[in-house]
């Protein structure tokens, strides 16, 4: 085992003279008084290694011994990950609290997964079968899921199963199989293994193109700015625009199997809300507590910076692990800017030549590599699994022209830019419908949404013009266009997160009500005056808002819809030609 001694300390970076081989990203422990402080090698020069320490460095002295582990920074993978709340290094926080009380004492590391708990194992291979990395050996029930016990991803050979445990209860570390590699050596396998966080898990034959939408039940997203299963998206926005709230809503409602929340360098208070509320909320898909499908990785802003950098990797590795079981996983990272800032701090300490705004020159490639870990994959057994990544970005001054936002926009498939103007006007979700974009296919026919978007753009133009020339100087047709775009915004783009029905709108309902919205937008509306047009739209809007909070297919819902269709037929009898065409060509999604 390589050992060393501290020679220099600067903030959370420590230089160590080593007596043997070390590798990049290897984990070492600095022995300070009676504590062992975890650190990671981030640069090697000759016999000197530089380590970023995951803890407060106070009290370290020159000459203090350092032990290297030969292991890269890794996480434990196995049954029991779901429902856990861990820090960036996968220390379970509730257990830490039991041990050290109110404060996060440094140098205390606990195992992430419970060792005593027994899992009911059912084998799916037989002696003599040939297996390779990622292949299923058996499964255990974990809450509502069938958790696959797989051949560890670090075993690169093809193996023959020599023994396999029979169905029964086993603890995590008991041997459940022995396999023999091509050279004849045997390996004992248990239900838990480690994987280095900074390497993507790639134990699958093929990556597929993400095509199916990941339904978030937020209308504006699903209809206009969709995210695909296995895709990536980002939410940049100034402070107070509702990034975190949008993430929280998504984490509750998204139609995926598993949600991983990485609270990276943000307020502890927000994590606490999730921590305390999720166990009480029921997942409408399963009827169980939302916590059963959730893992929370929590490295809030006052926790050590180096562990913050590690936390997003810990999160994505756990996401990839569940993808290997054929599940759809959503990773929500809040906020990737804090992660980038952690990189900037380390880069500064390493005295690297700074790039834009002092971010390191490799910022873009690191961000790209992170988002590229998302994806839809075909597994060894033909099933598919996916990891979708949604990251918030907190641009300085709310200005999207800064390096982190720009580097992120280059690699993501959808951009949900939040706007201060919309959040100030209390229009939630405050995603700017004009500036944002998505490259994925949504739940509603593309041609129809494009038509609706064009109304939004033209309505916005009329709105701008009206500010100058006033309502008097605007033509009636233009004014109606403006009212249409305002209507679309008020009843479809905005969504009331506090209304039990409106808070989450499934695909079927979205398609249904979008049909009505589209008919309104596409209709040739004839009124005698602007006043009449305004009154029509205001009344229609009021009805639509009531319709939005009416239970799906309830009596009130049907009644309101009928009333609205009648109301519309009084002012209009036909669609605009372009709308007619879009409507005729619409895909058949029934």
Partner 1 sequence: MRKVYSRIETIAGNVISVKAEGVRYGELATVNTRYGTSLAEVIRMRDDEVSLQVYAGGRGISTGDEVRFMGHPMQVSFSDNLLGRVFNGSGRPRDNGPELTEGLIEIGGPSVNPAKRIIPRNMIRTGIPMIDLFNTLVESQKLPIFSVSGEPYNELLARIAMQAEVDIIILGGIGLKYDDYLFFKDSLEEGGALSRTIFFVHTASDPVVEALLVPDISLAVAEKFALKGKRVLVLLTDMTNFADAMKEIAITQEQVPSNRGYPGDLYSQLASRYEKAVDFEGAGSITILGVTTMPGDDVTHPVPDNTGYITEGQYYLRNGRIEPFGSLSRLKQLVNDSTRDDHRALMDGMIKLYANYKESQEKKSMGFRMSEWDDKLLKYGEIFERTLMDLSVNIPLEEALDRGWSILADCFNSQETGLKSELIKQFWPKKDEESGEATA
Where along the sequence are the contacts to partner 1 (CB under 8 A)? Answer: 7-10, 15, 56-62, 85, 93-94, 96-97, 100-106, 238-240, 265, 267-269, 271-273, 275-276, 298, 300-303, 305, 338, 341-342, 344-345, 348, 354, 357-359, 394, 396-399, 424
How far apart, in whole angstroms, are the C-alpha atoms of residue 195 and residue 299?
20
Name the DSSP letter for residue 348: H
Tokens standing for 46?
């000759």
Among 511, 512, 513, 533, residue whose Cα is nearest residue 524: 533
Minimum distance from CB of 329 to partner 1 (Å)? 23
Minimum distance from CB of 341 to partner 1 (Å)? 6
Neighbours of 306 (CB within 10 A): 27
Kindly provide the residue ranges of all beta strands, DSSP E only, lying in 402-449, ordered along the sequence: 414-415, 437-438
Minimum distance from CB of 6 to partner 1 (Å)? 8
Contacts of 284 (CB under 8 A, 6+ apart): 504
Minimum distance from CB of 292 to partner 1 (Å)? 18
Minimum distance from CB of 235 to partner 1 (Å)? 14
For partner 1, give the closer residue by CB, 85 or 318. Answer: 85
For partner 1, give the closer residue by CB, 31 or 396. Answer: 396
How far apart, in whole angstroms, are the C-alpha atoms of residue 452 and residue 127?
60
CB 177 within 8 A of CB 165: yes
Tokens standing for 377?
């994959």
Minimum distance from CB of 132 to partner 1 (Å)? 39
How far apart, in whole angstroms, are the C-alpha atoms of residue 491 and residue 513?
10
Minimum distance from CB of 402 to partner 1 (Å)? 9
> Which residue do the tokens 């479809």 mark?
492
Widest pairwise Cα distance in the chain: 89
Tokens standing for 493?
């783009």
Among 590, 507, 494, residue whose Cα is nearest residue 549: 494
For partner 1, give the closer residue by CB, 309 or 432. Answer: 309
For partner 1, give the closer residue by CB, 7 or 441. Answer: 7
Classify strands 294-299 and 258-264 as parallel, antiparallel or unpaired. parallel
For partner 1, give the closer residue by CB, 208 or 281. Answer: 281
555, burial (CB in 10 Å: exposed 0-12, middle 13-18, buried 19+) = exposed
Name the DSSP letter for residue 551: P
Among 471, 474, 461, 568, residue whose Cα is nearest residue 521: 568
For partner 1, give the closer residue by CB, 398 or 463. Answer: 398
Minimum distance from CB of 275 to partner 1 (Å)? 7
For partner 1, give the closer residue by CB, 341 or 438. Answer: 341
How far apart, in whole angstroms, are the C-alpha atoms of residue 408 and residue 398?
15
Contacts of 279 (CB under 8 A, 6+ apart): 289, 290, 291
Minimum distance from CB of 73 to partner 1 (Å)? 20
For partner 1, give the closer residue by CB, 503 or 516. Answer: 503
Handedness of CA 349, 350, 353, 358 (dihedral sign): negative
How far apart, in whole angstroms, are the C-alpha atoms of residue 251 and residue 214?
12
Minimum distance from CB of 520 to partner 1 (Å)? 26
For partner 1, give the closer residue by CB, 267 or 378. Answer: 267
Minimum distance from CB of 238 to partner 1 (Å)? 8
> Which residue do the tokens 């305390």 mark?
276
Minimum distance from CB of 4 to partner 1 (Å)? 14
Which residues partner with 289 through β-bridges?
Answer: 282
For partner 1, give the closer residue by CB, 172 or 305. Answer: 305
For partner 1, give the closer residue by CB, 15 or 289. Answer: 15
How far apart, in whole angstroms, are the C-alpha atoms of residue 399 and residue 381?
46
For partner 1, give the closer residue by CB, 58 or 209. Answer: 58
How far apart, in whole angstroms, are the C-alpha atoms of residue 274 and residue 271?
5
């Amino acid at each position: 085992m390589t050992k060393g001694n501290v020679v220099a300390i600067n903030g959370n970076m420590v230089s160590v003279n080593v007596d043997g081989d070390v590798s990049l990203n290897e984990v070492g422990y600095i022995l300070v008084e009676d504590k062992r402080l975890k650190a990671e090698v981030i640069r090697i020069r000759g016999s000197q290694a530089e380590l970023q320490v995951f803890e407060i460095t106070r009290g370290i002295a020159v000459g203090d011994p350092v032990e290297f582990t030969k292991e890269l920074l890794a996480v434990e993978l196995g049954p029991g990950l779901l429902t856990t709340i861990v820090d960036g290094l996968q220390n379970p926080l509730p257990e830490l609290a039991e041990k050290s009380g109110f404060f996060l004492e440094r140098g205390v590391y606990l195992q992430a997964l419970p060792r005593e708990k027994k899992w009911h194992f059912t084998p799916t291979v037989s002696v003599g079968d040939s297996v390779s990395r990622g292949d299923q050996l058996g499964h255990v029930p974990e809450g509502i899921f069938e958790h696959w016990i797989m051949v560890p991803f670090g075993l690169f050979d093809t193996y023959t199963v020599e023994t396999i445990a029979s169905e029964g209860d086993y603890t995590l570390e008991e041997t459940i199989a022995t396999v023999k590699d091509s050279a004849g050596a045997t390996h004992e396998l248990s239900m838990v293994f480690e994987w280095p966080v900074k390497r993507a898990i790639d134990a699958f034959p093929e990556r597929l193109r993400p095509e199916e939408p990941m339904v978030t039940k937020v209308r504006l997203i699903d209809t206009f700015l969709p995210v695909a299963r296995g895709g990536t998206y980002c939410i940049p926005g100034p402070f107070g625009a509702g990034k975190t709230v949008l993430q929280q809503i998504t984490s509750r409602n998204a139609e995926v199997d598993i949600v991983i929340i990485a609270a990276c360098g943000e307020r502890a208070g927000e994590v606490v809300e999730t921590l305390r509320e999720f166990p009480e909320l029921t997942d409408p898909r399963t009827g169980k507590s939302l916590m059963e499908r959730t893992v929370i990785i929590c490295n809030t802003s006052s926790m050590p910076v180096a562990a913050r950098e590690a936390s997003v990797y810990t999160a994505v590795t756990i996401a990839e692990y569940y993808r290997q079981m054929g599940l759809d996983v959503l990773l929500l990272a809040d906020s990737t800017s804090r992660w980038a800032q952690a990189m900037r701090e380390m880069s500064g300490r390493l005295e690297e030549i700074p790039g834009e705004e002092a971010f390191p020159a490799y910022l873009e490639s690191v961000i790209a590599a992170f988002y590229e870990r998302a994806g839809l994959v075909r597994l060894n057994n033909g099933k598919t699994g996916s990891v979708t990544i949604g990251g918030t970005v907190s641009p300085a001054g709310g200005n999207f022209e800064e390096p982190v936002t720009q580097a992120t926009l280059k690699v993501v498939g959808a951009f949900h830019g939040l706007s201060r103007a919309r959040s100030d006007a209390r229009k939630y979700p405050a995603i700017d419908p004009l500036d944002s974009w998505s490259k994925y296919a949504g739940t509603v026919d593309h041609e129809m949404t494009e038509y609706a978007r064009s109304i939004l753009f033209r309505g916005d133009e009329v709105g701008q013009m009206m500010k100058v020339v006033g309502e008097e100087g605007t033509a009636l047709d233009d004014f109606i266009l403006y009212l249409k775009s305002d209507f679309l915004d008020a009843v479809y783009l905005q969504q009331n997160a506090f209304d039990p029905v409106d808070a989450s709108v499934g695909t079927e309902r979205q398609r249904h009500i979008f049909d009505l919205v589209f008919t309104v937008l596409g209709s040739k509306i004839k009124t005698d005056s602007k006043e009449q047009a305004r009154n029509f739209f205001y009344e229609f809007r009021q009805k639509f808002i009531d319709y939005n909070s009416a239970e799906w297919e309830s009596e009130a819902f049907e009644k309101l819809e009928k009333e609205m269709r009648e109301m519309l037929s009084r002012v209009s009898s036909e669609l605009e030609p372009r709308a007619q065409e879009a409507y005729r060509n619409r895909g058949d999604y029934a």
